[in-house]
Amino acid sequence: MGAYDSALLLCDKGFREYPETVFTPRLKLLQILVTGKTEDINLYQYQLSDFIEKNPDTDITPYAKDLLEASRSFLEKQRRIIGTEYIKYFEEKHYFILLFDAGKNLSDQLMPKVDSYNRENFSERNLMTSNLILNEQHVMVMVSDFDSKAEALAYYESFVKADPASENTINSKFFKFVLTKSNFNIFYDSKDPESYLRFFEKHYANGS
């Protein structure tokens, strides 16, 4: 770990002394590579994706894309063997998800209800509501975004209590949960609601 710590210190020193130069992307990528060696692989992938998005035209961006693709291939093989793994890091933006049966054609009903609920109860937050297809079995309404785990859980508890989607009057199963931006990417890629619901129960619903 000593070599990795030294590399991070050098990166931090470079960022402080030279805030923005032609070498800044290289320092940032070096920092991400250290993350790949010392931290969760999903965090590493998130940082690579963020780097690629923010540095689309550098000469090292193709290399970053290759690293991301290789990491995703490796992680996909792992998922097939041991199941989906989520990041146990919660200090980032969160989303709220309302997941339901794709065969019920409920999107046109639920989107306006969620929008209306947000306007009436969270107008100061300017929350965004999106409709996304997860797979052939599930569609979801996503509310974004919340600045912290605490804010997301407060919204979740309020939503469950108010039941603006009228779950009790619709003959369909609903799943409601919150997740980080990074874990949403894993969730959307894996398309495995059951694995995330277990993670949610352990790290959110049970007060962890």
Q: Do 110 and 17 reside in the same domain of the chain?
A: no
pLDDT per position as a tens digit, 52-98? 998 898 999 999 999 999 988 887 777 666 668 898 999 999 999 99
pLDDT over 80 at 132, yes or no: yes
| CA distances, 195 to each of 39, 100, 156, 187, 199 (Å) | 21, 16, 19, 9, 7
Q: How far is residue 17's CA from residue 36's CA, in Å, rounded to a whole number?
A: 25
Q: Do 98 and 197 reside in the same domain of the chain?
A: yes
Around 80, how many Cα atoms within 13 Å sit in the side-chain half-sphere? 5
User: What pLDDT sits at residue 24?
Assistant: 78
Q: Is residue 88 part of a domain?
A: no
Q: What's the rounded mean pLDDT across residues 11-39?
A: 71
Q: End of a domain among 47, 82, 117?
A: 82
Q: Do 201 and 121 reside in the same domain of the chain?
A: yes
More confident residue, 169 or 141: 141
Q: Is residue 87 part of a domain?
A: no
Q: Do 111 and 183 reside in the same domain of the chain?
A: yes
Q: Do 195 and 105 reside in the same domain of the chain?
A: yes
Domain extent for 8: 2-82
Q: How far is residue 140's CA from residue 2's CA, in Å, rounded to a whole number?
A: 45
Q: Report residue 47 CA to chain centroid gap.
A: 12
Indicate the pTM of the whole model: 0.63
User: What pLDDT sits at residue 2?
Assistant: 44
